[in-house]
Amino acid sequence: MTVDRDQVLRTAAALLTRKATATMDEVARASGIGRATLHRHFAGRDALVRALEELGIREFEAALDAARTDEGSASDAVRRLIAEIEPAAGLLAFLVTENQLFEGEMNEGWDRLDSRVSAVFQRGQRQGEFRIDLSPAWLTDAFYGLVSSGFWAVHDGRVATKDFQYMIAELLLGGARRSVEQ
């Protein structure tokens, strides 16, 4: 009988990713619970979004762990990261835009994640694998942007699901890697 809080969060994430303006009532109905119950678990809309943020951070952190970004070449690390992040791409896209709009008060967990992503690009630069004229901060932003774009491209049918990882990885790595022009 007890509501599965995490399941509610995942349903809310799926809904809010597609429709950021969904009401609490819509979120509740999508999760198959009453609005009152939703309020019992999340004090309000802000609390829900904050919980969503924590879920996103948890999943992103898990993806970083699973991708073992310290091992092998930086390119392969980026490829593994893209693969691991794919299931959470929608949530990430939602949170990225959410964070862009509300200046200031953002969860500190993002800093840690930014650092870990940035570290991969730094490592690639240090080891001579990536070009050094594109800053790790920019490559990190670009990574978020491309994952979001990739999610929407797949969501709207402009890119096949099976191509998600390849398209992002090739574009990002093609731009980041040192290479000799043809």
Partner DNA sequence: CCCGAACGAGACACTGATGTCTCATCCGAT
Partner DNA sequence: ATCGGATGAGACATCAGTGTCTCGTTCGGG
Interface with DNA by CB under 7 A: which residues? 1-3, 23-25, 32-37, 39-41, 43-46
DSSP classification of residue 135: -
| Cβ–Cβ under 8 Å, residues 168 and 176 | no
| Cβ–Cβ under 8 Å, residues 159 and 141 | no
Beta-bridged to residue 177, according to DSSP, are 130
- The reply to whether 178 sits near its own copies by the rule CB under 8 A is yes
Which range binds its own copies by CB under 8 A, 29-37, 59-67, 76-84, 161-169? 161-169
C-beta of 4 vs 163, nearer to DNA: 4
3 state SS of 130: strand
Residue tagged 């890697």 (tokens): 177
- We find the least distance from the C-beta atom of residue 88 to DNA, in angstroms, to be 24
- We find the least distance from the C-beta atom of residue 122 to its own copies, in angstroms, to be 15
Question: At 114, which amino acid appears?
Answer: D
Burial environment of residue 75 by CB neighbours within 10 A (0 to 12, 13 to 18, 19 or more): middle
Residues 19-58 that bind its own copies (CB under 8 A): 19-21
Q: Which residues bind its own copies (CB under 8 A)?
A: 18-21, 97, 100-101, 103, 131, 133-135, 137-139, 141-142, 144-146, 148-150, 152-153, 158-159, 163, 166-167, 170-182
